[in-house]
Amino acid sequence: MKYLGIEPEKIKIGSFDFTCCEGCQLQLANKEDTLVDFLALLDVVNFREISSHRGEDYDIALIEGSITRADEVERLKKIRKRAKILVAVGSCACFGGVNQIKNKFPIEDVVREVYGDDPVETLPVRKVSDIVKVDLEIPGCPVSKEEVERIVVNLVTGAEIKFPKYPVCVECRRNLNTCVFDLGQICLGPITRAGCGAVCTTGKTGCIGCRGPAEEANYEEFRQILKDHGFTVRQALERINFYGGLPEMVIDES
């Protein structure tokens, strides 16, 4: 099959899940309007959400989830050895995601609280790049399926890959949204990297920073925005710390 009139060489791809909800993989599998053309570019050798086939010969490995066990460390290292390109997909893989909240408490206390007296093997949560070399990171919770598809197509065709440097606020303004700060909510849009299409703020929900920091983020201006709308940095910290991607220490509470 051809993609946009071009018949490229098929690239072998595998998608692997670690400690996660698999929501990012589902995003790709559920993109029905372009899924057939998208898959026509690829030779899917390992992707549990769409195929029962399990192959070990792949060029691109998509990794979803954080790393929380010793067996996951070894499995990830084996995947890295086989893959020519390894892509961390989603906030858990890129930053530790929601799972990294566990690191703020003693592990034994977390295990006792969640599992009671049942022994469970668990380690401090780590992002994928803490364990192996990562060639590309695509953040989001879940990821933007349009963005992942575009990037994979660019990898296959050899096209340049670019990420927005500006924050979500730019996309929010383009969508002609009312600022959610004016609706009485804290929003991390001023410091979070764009690329999601401002989907949360378009739905009148404040950005929670799942895409990590924007390169052009102005933290001092963000402090002022919080102050102007009656919020403190301390009130914003719960959102800032939620995914583990935003640099908390850049924002002084004083």
CATH of the domain at 102: 3.40.50.700
Q: What pLDDT, on the 0 to 100 scale, is given for residue 159?
A: 87
Residue 2 lies in a domain: no
Count of the separate structural domains present in the chain: 2
* Mean pLDDT for the stretch of residues 220-229: 94
* Mean pLDDT for the stretch of residues 206-228: 93
pLDDT in tens, 31-60: 667 777 777 778 888 888 777 777 788 999
Residue 162 lies in a domain: no
pLDDT in tens, 141-195: 999 988 988 888 888 778 899 899 999 999 999 999 999 999 999 999 999 999 9
- Which domain covers residue 172, as residue numbers? 168-250
User: Same structural domain for residues 144 and 18?
Assistant: yes
Q: What pLDDT, on the 0 to 100 scale, is given for residue 252?
A: 55
Domain boundary residue among 157, 186, 213?
Answer: 157
User: Same structural domain for residues 174 and 142?
Assistant: no
User: Same structural domain for residues 106 and 23?
Assistant: yes
Domain boundary residue among 107, 134, 157?
Answer: 157
One-letter amino acid of 129: S
Query: What is the C-alpha to C-alpha distance for residues 232 and 226, in angstroms, rounded to an integer?
Result: 6
Residue 29 lies in a domain: yes
Residue 1 lies in a domain: no
Vertex 136: Cα angle to 130 and 138 (nearest 5)? 95
Task: Categorize the per-residue pLDDT at 6 as very low, low, confident or very high, splitting at 50, 70 and 90.
Answer: low
Q: What pLDDT, on the 0 to 100 scale, is given for residue 129?
A: 98
Domain boundary residue among 98, 124, 157?
Answer: 157
Residue 98 lies in a domain: yes
Residues in the chain: 254
**Helix spans in 136-232 (H):** 145-157, 168-174, 199-202, 219-228
